[in-house]
Amino acid sequence: MKLSPARLLGATFLLALAACDKAATTSTAATGTGDAAVAAPADGNWLAVTAATPEGGFRIGNPDARVKLLEFASLTCPHCKDFEAEAMDTIRNKYVASGNVSYEFRNFVLNGPDFAASLLARCQGPDQFFALLTSFFQDQESWTKPFMTIAPAEQTRIGALPQDQQIAAMATAGQLDAYVRTRGIPKAKFDQCLTDKAQMDRIEALRKEATDTYKLTGTPGFVINGQTQDGVFTWADLEPKLQAALR
């Protein structure tokens, strides 16, 4: 399903949300990296190695790791926020740092605010992406709240704009520009990121990949070495799968 800005605006005000439908089915899709060889860090710690992947995600760690962990998630999904808080320090320090596991994040957008935040995070490149990802999850309640109070008349006005202007107008009405300004994204960059048609198309393609290739119907969803992890939505469920893959 193609997610036009107009369609996403229709979902904007349902943010609270139906956000994290927990259903997935098994897939055996492959996840080749397509990367050039990357030398191991001199100190042996892979946490500083980040990259935008050819598939459209952002990866941290060794591209040739024995175990490749892929997460599809939404920045407005409360369960995704919980997973980030519970799991990411362990994933980074216990698994990724050693080079045995790589972690890749791919956006699975669910609504307009999610689309806007995803564009802003992706626009900053891999070196800043993960820090912004953490901020969006940690502050999820505060930055999404203004979207819920956009007046109906303003919603109507935004919906009447040309599609290539709707996401930026919605994000401004939801005060997202003020939130990201404190994180080093000025208004000019904000406007540029939210009108990036190539990134919009990439985000739509990632959602299609999640649903069509990996058969995911909600977030968070996990893939290990190309295999969709059916019924796995929490760190308690996922970590034994990682450990099994490492044996």
Q: How confident is the model over 178-195, as pLDDT tens digits?
A: 999 999 999 999 999 999
pLDDT at residue 1, rounded to an integer:
40
CB 27 within 8 A of CB 82: no
Q: Comparing 3-7, 37-41, 197-201, 204-208, which segment has the lowest mean pLDDT? A: 3-7
pLDDT at residue 175, rounded to an integer:
97
N-term to C-term CA, the chain: 38
- The position carrying tokens 């939801």 is 174
User: Mean pLDDT across the stretch 103-129?
Assistant: 95
% pLDDT > 70, the chain: 85
Q: How far apart are CA 194 and CA 188, in angstroms?
A: 10
Q: Which helix or strand (DSSP H or E) is residue 161 part of?
A: none
pLDDT at residue 17, rounded to an integer:
40
Q: What is the pTM of this model?
A: 0.87
Strand 101-107, strand 67-73: pairing: parallel
pLDDT at residue 35, rounded to an integer:
53
What average pLDDT is seen over the chain?
A: 87
Residues comprising the chain, all counted: 247
% pLDDT > 90, the chain: 79
How many helices, marked H, and strands, marked E, lie in the chain?
A: 11, 6
Q: Comparing 37-51, 87-101, 173-187, which segment has the lowest mean pLDDT? A: 37-51
Q: Edge-to-edge strands of the sheet including 227-228?
A: 50-52, 58-60, 101-107, 67-73, 221-224, 227-228
pLDDT at residue 37, rounded to an integer:
63
Domains of the chain: 5-11+22-27+50-246 (3.40.30.10)
Closest to 237 (Cα-Cα) out of 57, 19, 22, 76? 22
Token pair listed for 87: 């799991």
Q: Comparing 34-38, 109-113, 208-212, 215-219, which segment has the lowest mean pLDDT? A: 34-38
pLDDT at residue 44, rounded to an integer:
77
Q: How far apart are CA 232 and CA 150, in angstroms?
A: 35
pLDDT exceeds 90 at position 34 = no
Q: How far apart are CA 43 and CA 61, in angstroms?
A: 13
Tens digits of residue pLDDT in 57-80 = 999 999 999 999 999 999 999 999
pLDDT at residue 218, rounded to an integer:
82
CB 221 within 8 A of CB 210: yes
pLDDT at residue 217, rounded to an integer:
82
- Note the helical H segments in 77-175: 78-90, 112-123, 126-138, 140-144, 152-159, 163-173
Q: Give me the residues paired with residue 73 across strands.
A: 107
8: number of Cβ within 10 Å: 23
Q: Is the peptide bond before 113 cis (omega within 30 degrees of 0)?
A: no
Under the banding of pLDDT at 50, 70 and 90, the label for residue 6 is very low
- Note the helical H segments in 174-218: 176-181, 187-193, 197-208
